[in-house]
Structure 1
């Protein structure tokens, strides 16, 4: 195992727990994004060529961070939902600049259409009753966030109303739910991640703007009740993500 890669994996895992902080962005900052993406593609096409020491080291770091931090985050989300919403709102709003600045040419209209469609759809989806089936399909979609910097897998779960039950399953070691999530994530890697890779390769700017639009529209589910404390948390979220993304 490589200690440095375990540490990088831990940073990515910690980021993926927090809606608004993208594990892909952290991977970019740490300089392993392209290597991880290439290794993930090899995992599907030619497993014998995979750098297993690298992948396993990163995976161990990610899993360790997830299990270590899930309990305090679960407590924060359950006990202080409005403060959590405000913090996550600030983080997601600040991270919108990541996919936009990665694009060389603007695609404003498709981005606004994606934002509008998402805005009117997430209200209903956020009311879905969690079940193993919905968690399975949500995991298929959320795993794509590991491919695209600026998009948080936890935020996708939050927009679908599944963040609290999933992080609760991690915190409480509910291995049945975690197994369902892992199966969905694995299927998502097979079907969605390769498609997203293709979209980024052939229609990079359009894909990035559409993803930014999806994030913008999904902010609806995070709209907090404003108070001095929630505004402070919102600004804290903006500052934290802005500081991280400026190091790219």
Structure 2
């Protein structure tokens, strides 16, 4: 809201005007979000869906996929940088994985967990925006316990599934579930099945027999389940958000025993105990700081998304 003391630039676009030009800053912010979400797709312990929630693109993405014809052109323009960023994040991090991720896995994961910690207060407020009853506390607690138990149990698996086109289709669908169900880490399951390093190599080398079925499986899964997720948000907003909040919290907690402090984590890093803990702490702090700074930038461009939803 403006007052008489607040000057209004005559050339400033109206945030409620659906035809106002997209600002460069907002476009770049969404590109960076897409890169982070893309990294989340393949970073062990994390979920692209979690990062989509954190960066406030989960709800609008689900709404768009559930009703793709509503404001179609505006929606595509809005999500285009997110999609480009997602591809960049997946490809770049696949190169990192192939080159040196094994040694720096714990540090990378701590950086992204810092992102989660930095935005958790915002997620908590978002979950309670329409009220918080006793049943929502139950949903929160159960979802924390379930995802924590699943990830903890899965950490002991060591299967070897031979790669094939049907397997990559299924792997893509698994990644798609990581979008629809924030907190679920598809990469962890791919590691358990012995497919993670093969997937990273295939993406890095632009192997069509890997990335094409992966992409098809991902898109089909997301499109098929988007309407169900959107229905859940429309009918049970508080319950859905507390479920997501629990998945985010539970999966984040489970990352520490399953990834950061895995039995061979310190050995793989090539560091001593003190240096290993210090590097993890520094990366965690950097993630929290980056998340806080990013949220400040995000708030500047929130009105552009609101304008699309209002239309």
**Structure 1 length as normaliser, TM-score?**
0.74
Decide which structure has greater helix share. 1
Answering whether residue 41 of structure 2 is matched by residue 12 of structure 1, we say: no
Q: Which runs of 5+ in 2 are unaligned?
A: 1-21, 41-45, 262-275, 300-311
Of the three residues 46, 49, 65, the one matched with 1:40 is: 65
1:40-76 CA-to-partner distances (Å, cap 9, x unmatched) read 3343xx49x7318626843345434543454236545
Q: Which structure 2 residues correspond to residues 62-141 of structure 1 after superposition, within 5 A?
A: 62-68=86-92, 70-72=94-96, 75-104=99-128, 105-106=131-132, 107-126=136-155, 127=157, 129=160, 132=167, 134-141=170-177
Shift of 1:186: 1.6
CA contact (8 A) 2:178 2:185 kept: yes
Q: Which residue of 2 aligns with 1:148?
A: none
8 A contact 2:176–2:217 mirrored in 1: yes
Q: 1:54 aligns with which of 68, 77, 91?
A: 77
**Count of aligned pairs:** 233
The structure having more radius of gyration, on CA atoms, is 2
CA contact (8 A) 2:98 2:201 kept: yes
TM-score (norm 2): 0.61
Q: Tell me, in whole angstroms, the C-alpha distance in 1 between the residues paired with 2:53 and 2:146.
A: 24
Unaligned runs of 5+ in 1: 146-150
Give the drift of 1:129: 4.4
The Cα shift of 1:138 comes to 1.1
Shift of 1:229: 1.4
Q: Paired residue for 1:183, among 210, 216, 240?
A: 216
Deviation at 1:213, TM superposition (A): 0.8
TM-superposed deviation, 1:192? 1.4
* Distance in structure 2 (CA, Å) of the matches to 1:203 and 1:171: 41
Is 1:111–1:210's contact at 8 Å kept on the other side of the alignment? yes
Counterpart check, 1:237 vs 2:260: no
TM-aligned CA deviation for residue 86 of structure 1: 2.4
SS for the counterpart of 2:115 is helix
